[in-house]
Structure 1
């Protein structure tokens, strides 16, 4: 389009520019009615600010349209483009999708086109030029929409990365036992609502992503360089919110087949305690039964007994010293009988059923044990030491 063909004569441009405040007001009013989610935002000072933004966009369009040759609709001027980008970022910051803003653009384009075209025709624009006018209006709106979409996506990407960093930092502070004040501040920075409790879960890093998909969305994750863990373990730790009581069964089910070790639930600011328990179970070699995770709440006795392996071995050797003169076979049978005797409180029939032997065999073996141990089998302290020594299988 040459300058001579340009339908935006000075008279048309002046008439349209004079109408900008009225058109902006009508555009905002139409958006409020058509896009109800904006009704509250458009009231008061915010409404006036948005009217000014609409005027800026319309003014940008007029500047574009009245340039030589009618302008290039694919290149909106800078201020309007920047304003659209900022609107998109604002929507993302407020937690909204782009649906409402794009709907507002469509409504705004329709209302602005109707009123501005009426003004343009009244000011002398030939009717034949309206098609070109419409093309410029809607191409301009498309470009502004694309700029808002870009702003929305950029904010989500930036804020998502930033929040992930804050969540990782919070997990690190929890695992290292930082003071309550620091934990509360870190939770606020991460926009993370503290639960009542946290339960630590240790599992291979390769299994962590699949587990996260089935757990509470507030679950925190920490990866490499876990405090107290061997650098080569390649384990991740998850801190799962409110997994106590009945919810623990759901957590254990979700972790089936994932080689997980599950700590006890602890008040969220004491999550390090849960992590320490799970890590200790892993270091002591507690293994899952079938595909079930290691539930430390069900393995407390083993944890206690294995806490000092050397002390347990010494205790076992000390209290079982009366059996040292026996051969491996007889010794094993008497140790087995003594363990069952302790477990079943001396009830011969239950011991026999447990060992798959005749009750008379139990009587005979217990006679041997009493000969070897003497009165020590009636001593409460010896009974305690035997119970501890025989609480786990001899390595």
Structure 2
């Protein structure tokens, strides 16, 4: 009391009031607990009664004990409570409702205590301000800690998901744990599935930044793993007949680089093999066809399947073009590619290239003369087509640095 007497009279009254409230900690705890049970029984069902009792008691103690010593409230229990509630999965709105009910009870008891000791008007106003400041501090600290815990959980879940996707892609899961992995990855346990591989612009950057959300909007669940050179995802297609082409269209619209898609498969244990096929398809993608589905475009897949041998194959077919200037060589091959994409029609190829059909025919004759392969010969067309796909893939590799 000697310390209180040496302070400002209003401060002394506030400290005395806080001491009175502190002396009633057990009683106030029971009052708050009962009121919460009456107004918000859902809250009681979410937290063990003993734990809730301890939490309320700690809040009351740290709210009034510092004020009794002329210090601001200590919001540490609010931060601890916020973290704990986040770990228990209790919604933040439920926590805030709990604070509202609790401080309503404490404010009423504080007003009664102030009236019983004849608190001055100034002290009463200060007491009201202290209560509001305390409520603000507690809810703020609880909310901040709650959100930080959620961010931590999200990081942990993302790390866990990434590790599981990696294990799935590498074939390191067996029959026992593959279904547990599917549950954690939020993937159905029954196929069909596809693997998607997308070249990334740079290490640490996404090849398909928004694709998980885009596919989710189509009813396609997926799980993804970002690596240094490629972003790989496992996608589940419940209605492949309706969804496959929509997915390919979305991949073409979303991606800025090459994308490969595996054929559909039914068992998650086949994911590692599907990953290899998706990577081969990705290597076969080019500027004119950025998304390649393995099996739908065999030439592109074949051109990318053996990168140590295929350049030699292309060189043996296209060696006759070596004496041309780069621009002229590119012109002939681009014309051949347009002719292929036009099902062998010079007129349609001309429309694609914005030239006269006779110009297309002239360039194709030059290609025949240089390579010694006539386009009227199906075997020659097959050889030129494969060499063309290999050449496009090599150019794409150089353009993307790998």
Within 5 Å, which residues of 2 pair with 1:327-366?
Answer: none
From 30, 45, 64, the counterpart of 1:40: 45
Deviation, structure 1 residue 131: 1.4
Deviation, structure 1 residue 142: 1.3
Please state whether the residue corresponding to 1:277 is helix, strand or coil.
Answer: helix
**Aligned residues of 1:202 and 1:279 also touching (Cα < 8 A):** yes
From 19, 22, 28, the counterpart of 2:24: 19
Q: What is the aligned partner in structure 1 of residue 61 from structure 2?
A: 59
Q: What is the aligned partner in structure 1 of residue 213 from structure 2?
A: 213
Q: What is the aligned partner in structure 2 of residue 250 from structure 1?
A: 246
Q: What is the aligned partner in structure 2 of residue 222 from structure 1?
A: 225
**Aligned residues of 2:199 and 2:282 also touching (Cα < 8 A):** no
Counterpart Cα distance in 1 of 2:122 and 2:90: 41
Counterpart Cα distance in 1 of 2:98 and 2:212: 37
**Aligned residues of 2:62 and 2:77 also touching (Cα < 8 A):** no
Residues 128-165 of structure 1 deviation map (CA, whole Å, 9 limit, x = unaligned):
52211111112112111121122112212222222222
Q: What is the aligned partner in structure 2 of residue 337 from structure 1?
A: none
Q: What is the aligned partner in structure 2 of residue 271 from structure 1?
A: 271
Q: What is the aligned partner in structure 1 of residue 199 from structure 2?
A: 204
Q: What is the aligned partner in structure 2 of residue 111 from structure 1?
A: 105
Q: What is the aligned partner in structure 1 of residue 261 from structure 2?
A: 262
Report the aligned-residue RMSD: 3.7
**Aligned residues of 1:170 and 1:183 also touching (Cα < 8 A):** no
* 2:294 aligned with 1:296: yes
Q: What is the aligned partner in structure 2 of residue 72 from structure 1?
A: 71
Query: Cα gap change, 1:150/1:218 in structure 2, threshold over 3 Å: closer, same or farther?
Result: farther
Residues 329-361 of structure 1 deviation map (CA, whole Å, 9 limit, x = unaligned):
xxxxxxxxxxxxxxxxxxxxxxxxxxxxxxxxx
Q: What is the aligned partner in structure 2 of residue 358 from structure 1?
A: none
Residues 271-299 of structure 1 deviation map (CA, whole Å, 9 limit, x = unaligned):
1121111112234x3558656x2122423
From 88, 105, 119, the counterpart of 1:94: 88
Ranges in structure 2 where 5+ consecutive residues have no aligned partner: 202-206, 318-377, 388-402
Counterpart Cα distance in 1 of 2:15 and 2:379: 103
Number of aligned residue pairs: give it: 301
Deviation, structure 1 residue 192: 2.6
Ranges in structure 1 where 5+ consecutive residues have no aligned partner: 226-233, 318-385
From 183, 186, 191, the counterpart of 1:193: 186
Counterpart Cα distance in 1 of 2:304 and 2:118: 95
Query: Cα gap change, 1:18/1:223 in structure 2, threshold over 3 Å: closer, same or farther?
Result: closer
Please state whether the residue corresponding to 1:220 is helix, strand or coil.
Answer: strand
From 8, 13, 21, the counterpart of 1:7: 13
Query: Cα gap change, 1:269/1:119 in structure 2, threshold over 3 Å: closer, same or farther?
Result: farther
Counterpart Cα distance in 2 of 1:394 and 1:165: 41
**Aligned residues of 2:165 and 2:224 also touching (Cα < 8 A):** yes
Query: Cα gap change, 1:129/1:261 in structure 2, threshold over 3 Å: closer, same or farther?
Result: same
**Aligned residues of 1:173 and 1:183 also touching (Cα < 8 A):** no
* 2:141 aligned with 1:136: no
Please state whether the residue corresponding to 1:146 is helix, strand or coil.
Answer: helix
Counterpart Cα distance in 1 of 2:76 and 2:275: 48
Counterpart Cα distance in 2 of 1:66 and 1:307: 78
Query: Cα gap change, 1:48/1:305 in structure 2, threshold over 3 Å: closer, same or farther?
Result: closer
Counterpart Cα distance in 2 of 1:58 and 1:306: 69
Deviation, structure 1 residue 29: 3.5
Residues 210-232 of structure 1 deviation map (CA, whole Å, 9 limit, x = unaligned):
3233123853222335xxxxxxx
Query: Cα gap change, 1:40/1:387 in structure 2, threshold over 3 Å: closer, same or farther?
Result: farther
